[in-house]
Amino acid sequence: MRKFILKRLLSLIPTLLGISILVFFMIHLIPGDPAEMMLGERASESALREVREQLGLDKPLYVQYGKFLGRLLQADLGRALRTNEKITTEIRERFPATVELSICAIIIATVLGMFAGIISATRQYSIFDYVSMVASLIGVSMPIFWLGLVLMIIFSVNLAWLPLSGRLSYYIQLETITNFYVIDSIITQNWTALKDVLWHLILPAFTLSTIPMATISRITRSSMLEVLRQDYIRTARAKGLSLWAVHYVHALKNALIPIITVIGLQFGILLGGAILTETIFAWPGIGLWILNGVYARDFNAVQGGTMFIAMVFVSINLVVDILYAWANPRIKVS
């Protein structure tokens, strides 16, 4: 296991190096001048030239990339061009919002998706099976921005049941310790804030959970169906074990490997791909922050934020691979 983990850690080096090259040069293909965005269209050429020299934007791209890579090796993501704040500081302030939203979304997707997949597999060709599969297809195909707007119109505008946007109502005070509002509410025993935070999470979390929910449901169904056809499941049934023991003790444990894989991958995707949801619901997470960086031609913020998300994603993949052996001891690590 140690050799496997070491090999996977070493394989992350070329992966992250390739990502850094792609991110750096693709960001510089975006039209626009960061210096002009900072000073305005009416800025003089001398002022623009001075800003470009201060930011190093007048250097050749390979020189700029070399400095960018050197900072990465020192765990320094640089400073945002818009605010001159350290990117690590801005990520530390905003990433908890994305993590909080992604965790809630993956919990909803896992619980509902696995439930639907297990019931569909154990009741194959039933009405529930057909409805579940159609719902999964719709969930995968439905655009998140459209679903988010529809849910906002129904539950926030028409019914006025749920908040329209944000993480916390403006009239509620909350002492931030970790920037995870749920945790901070519990630590400070601010139950009013906790209720309000959870209330704000419902719409964006459910919206973000639809695609992974549909994916988890389909993978769970196919994996369970494959396991239920195995000889040892027939043996368990022949021994007179209850359906609950057969389905949830024997079959589910052995069907978990692809399910764990897809849950881990979907969680990594949620952490880096929540931009649309965060934009629609004005959720102050890292996705919305990176999008604003693109609008402002803030190369440093977009590069630093994207590299941070990439490191999180590959780390989650590593954890998922390690969980394989826990889920099925028959797997041999080579």
The pLDDT value recorded for residue 76 is 82
Q: Is residue 15 part of a domain?
A: no
Q: Is residue 299 part of a domain?
A: no
Instruction: Measure the CA angle with vertex 134, ends 132 and 140; round to 5°.
Output: 100
Give the span between the Cα atoms of 235 and 296, in whole angstroms: 64
Instruction: Inform me whether the pLDDT recorded for 334 exceeds 60.
Output: no
Q: Is residue 5 part of a domain?
A: no
Contacts (Cβ under 8 Å, ≥6 apart) of 113: 212, 213, 214, 215, 216, 217, 220
Q: Which domain holds residue 143?
A: 88-286
Burial of 200 (0-12, 13-18, 19+ CB in 10 A): buried
Instruction: Inform me whether the pLDDT recorded for 250 exceeds 90.
Output: no
Structure confidence by residue, pLDDT tens digits, 282-323: 898 888 888 888 887 788 888 888 888 888 888 887 787 777
Q: Is residue 222 part of a domain?
A: yes
Q: Is residue 233 part of a domain?
A: yes
Of the pLDDT bands very low, low, confident and very high (cuts 50, 70, 90), residue 1 is low
The pLDDT value recorded for residue 154 is 93
The pLDDT value recorded for residue 192 is 93
Q: What mean pLDDT is predicted for residues 139-166?
A: 88
Q: Is residue 307 part of a domain?
A: no
The pLDDT value recorded for residue 186 is 93
Give the span between the Cα atoms of 97 and 103, in whole angstroms: 10
Structure confidence by residue, pLDDT tens digits, 3-24: 767 777 787 888 888 888 888 8
Q: What is the model's pTM?
A: 0.82
Q: What is the largest CA-CA distance in the chain?
A: 86
Q: What mean pLDDT is predicted for residues 250-272?
A: 82
The pLDDT value recorded for residue 135 is 85
Q: What mean pLDDT is predicted for residues 145-156?
A: 90
Report how many domains make up the chain.
1
- Domain holding 96: CATH number? 1.10.3720.10
Q: Is residue 226 part of a domain?
A: yes
Q: Is residue 297 part of a domain?
A: no
**Comparing 141-150, 235-244, 311-320, which segment has the lowest mean pLDDT?**
235-244
DSSP-assigned states of every residue in 77-121 = --B-TTT--BHHHHHHHHHHHHHHHHHHHHHHHHHHHHHHHHHHH
